[in-house]
A = this chain, B = another copy of it.
């Protein structure tokens, strides 16, 4: 059987369209900037018309999204501040043009699913994928399925302790000021230190502070979700020196409270980088429709 699947990583700055074999391999791919919805979706449809036939298609999209299959707006981007994209139906144009089933998921949930299927969380049932880049987002897989709930998680927006004596920066989240994203996303680092994060050396105080905030966040996510593993991806986490700092910070914050050898004795395998790197998003889109078994038993 040579099934072929379509995938779109629909991001706020670029769209990545791919043809996949359903086993984590990409056969054809095209990336272009996210402009006006009509123009962007038309260009995506053209890609899939070129590579047809496909069996089905997965979309991993920025949001917030309506993921309720019973809603009249299932598959819509809802309240994004991105100009032109609020209340945009991402799903129907592809269903109508390509006549195949289309599945949609948040970008972070899709990346989590890909890491569970083919990457750093293979074989695990319950785990967390956190991306720390321009923004901060989290995708959780619980008992093998992405967590949606009422809408879908917005993990970048939890509140964490903010010591204003140590860090007077007020935070840059337009909704919450100093929530996790407001304090620790790439744009926050840039605004606080008035320098591109990439330009800051490893011993710059920016990184000790960043590791502190991410440790607080990971410890709270662990207390809430009890994941079997925590994957930290996104551009900021390209600073690999953050990993040992965050691992140490999390152990310190937990204070020995959670009785699990997976944490206390093997933290290096518990808090890990993504195995799929920057491909987690597009592979996540493909994973949504690929026929492999779910990532793990209960």
Contacts and interface: CB of A to CB of B under 8 A. Distances in A.
A195 interface: no
Contact of A155 (B126, B161, B224, B228): B224
Interface stretch (A30-38, A202-210, A251-259): A251-259
A132 B77 CA distance: 36
Given A149-B142, A176-B253, A224 B158 contact: yes
Contacts of A160: 159-161
Given A149-B226, A224-B224, A159 B219 contact: yes
Given A154-B258, A175-B256, A175-B257, A220 B220 contact: yes
Given A153-B223, A175-B255, A161 B158 contact: no
Contacts of A138: 224
A226 B158 contact: no
A156 B232 CA distance: 24
A64 B140 CA distance: 23
Contacts of A167: none
A103 to B, nearest CB: 14
A149 B225 CA distance: 7
A221 B161 CA distance: 15
Number of copies: 2
Q: What DSSP secondary structure best describes chain A's contact surface?
A: loop
A225 B153 contact: yes
A67 to B, nearest CB: 10
A228 B153 CA distance: 11
B223 A151 contact: no
Nearest to A228: B150
Interface in A183-236: 216, 219-221, 223-228
Contacts of A257: 154, 157, 175-176
Q: Which of A151, A156, A220, A260 has the most CB of B within 10 A?
A: A220
Interface in A47-89: 64, 78-79
Interface of A: 64, 78-79, 126, 138, 140, 142-143, 145, 147-162, 175-176, 216, 219-221, 223-228, 253-260, 262-263
Given A151-B258, A152-B226, 20 more contacts: A64-B259, A78-B259, A126-B148, A142-B142, A142-B147, A143-B145, A147-B226, A150-B227, A150-B228, A150-B258, A150-B260, A150-B263, A153-B223, A153-B225, A156-B223, A157-B223, A159-B160, A159-B216, A160-B161, A176-B253
